[in-house]
Structure 1
Amino acid sequence: MKDDLDRIMDVMAAAFAPEWGEAWTRRQVSDSLAFPHTHYRLIDVYGAIPASADPAAGFTLVRSAPGEEELLLIAVAPQWRGHGLGGALLADVVRQARTRNAERIFLEMRENNSARLLYERHGFEPIGRRPAYYRKPDGSRIDAITFGYTIAD
């Protein structure tokens, strides 16, 4: 039986295109989860927390700090995209942040990431830019965009 870290890594391997180098290693995820302020959520194909024997269709990895949260990773396996799971994961991030009394959520992504539409549809707004932060497969550079979301009371 696979544990949650195995299920996160299965989704990560499927969801992140290797040419961008954005997928985390098992060690990076494991080390991150060793801190009490880092949280994850798995989701199944129905948008629920998967039973322990079932594969995950998506996940989030979030780091908490006083008053804010950072969405470190969000992924949905390609075969389950377009079924509302990304939106369900984002809604869960907001719900969980609210329970931890966060006022803002931040995330960062490469400028040409198609997930931008998902973030903007769910109320995230571009608030910053890191010029030439990511390396493109051809060796040229592309900006990173920071998004913010204000949690309403």
Structure 2
Amino acid sequence: MKRTRANLTLRGGGVEDLGIVNGLSAAAFDPRFGEAWTPSQCAGMFALPGVWLTIAQEGERALGFAMARVILDDAELLLLAVDPSARRRGTGRALVRSTMAEAVIRGAVNLHLEVRAGNPAVSLYVGEGFTKIGERRKYYRGLDGEQFDAQTFRRSLSQE
């Protein structure tokens, strides 16, 4: 376990933590935007090589998670969720920084991510040195059929 602030710890996770991942996803992702992964999508990621999960906790309470993968020298932040009650307290930042550090250990030189345009998390990513490199029009489809653009970001890990 890695302690990032007085009461927040980060730990590695696995398939046994799918209940946590699914619960946090349900709390963190507004279904009107169509961003959340299904439980089977999350479970399927653990079968792939290079995937890792980090859980952020206060005591026994899970506050957030990050799921990422590395392929050759590129890493991708696949999914990041923070319980709404824990937002704006450094949990997301700790997860992003932990993902960057682990990606370097695993040999990555860049970290990529994708996020819905207009998602407040964009400011977190930009603040951590990510640069927008592209956009996917109408990538997400919400519950009512409305479509939302996705933005792709990259950060060099050579500073780490």
Q: Would the alpha carbon gap of residues 135 and 21 (structure 1) be closer, same or farther in structure 2, given more than 3 Å must change?
A: closer
> Aligned with 1:152: secondary structure?
coil
Query: Paired residue for 1:114?
Result: 120
What count of residue pairs does the alignment treat as equivalent? 144
**Is the 8 Å Cα contact of residues 44 and 57 (structure 1) preserved in structure 2?**
yes
Q: Which residue does 2:72 correspond to in 1?
A: 66
Flag the structure with higher strand content.
2
Question: What amino acid is aligned across from residue 82 of structure 1 in structure 2?
Answer: R
1:33 counterpart residue number: 46
Unmatched segments (≥5 aa) in structure 1: none
C-alpha distance in structure 1 between counterparts of 2:61 and 2:71, whole Å? 30
Letter of the 1:24 partner, please give it: W
Residue 112 of structure 1 deviates from its aligned partner by 1.2
Query: What CA RMSD, in Å, does the superposition of the two structures yield over aligned residues?
Result: 1.5
Between the aligned residues of both structures, percent identity stands at 38
What are the residue-to-residue correspondences of 1:1-153 with 2, within 5 Å? Answer: 3-45=16-58, 54-136=60-142, 139-153=145-159
Partner-residue secondary structure (3-state), 2:62: coil
- Counterpart code for 1:122: E
Q: Deviations over 1:119-138 (max 9, x none)?
A: 00000110111122223566
C-alpha distance in structure 1 between counterparts of 2:106 and 2:52, whole Å: 11
Partners of 1:140 and 1:25 in 2: CA distance:
19
CA contact (8 A) 1:7 1:55 kept: no
Structure 1 runs (4+) deviating above 2 angstroms are 134-142
TM-score (norm 1): 0.87
Which has the bigger relative contact order, CA under 8 A and spacing at least 6?
A: 2
After superposition, give the CA deviation of every residue in 1:40-77 in whole Å (9 maximum; x if it has no partner).
Answer: 100113xxxx6xxx231000010210001111100100
TM value normalised by structure 2: 0.84
Contact 1:132 1:144 in 2 (8 A): yes
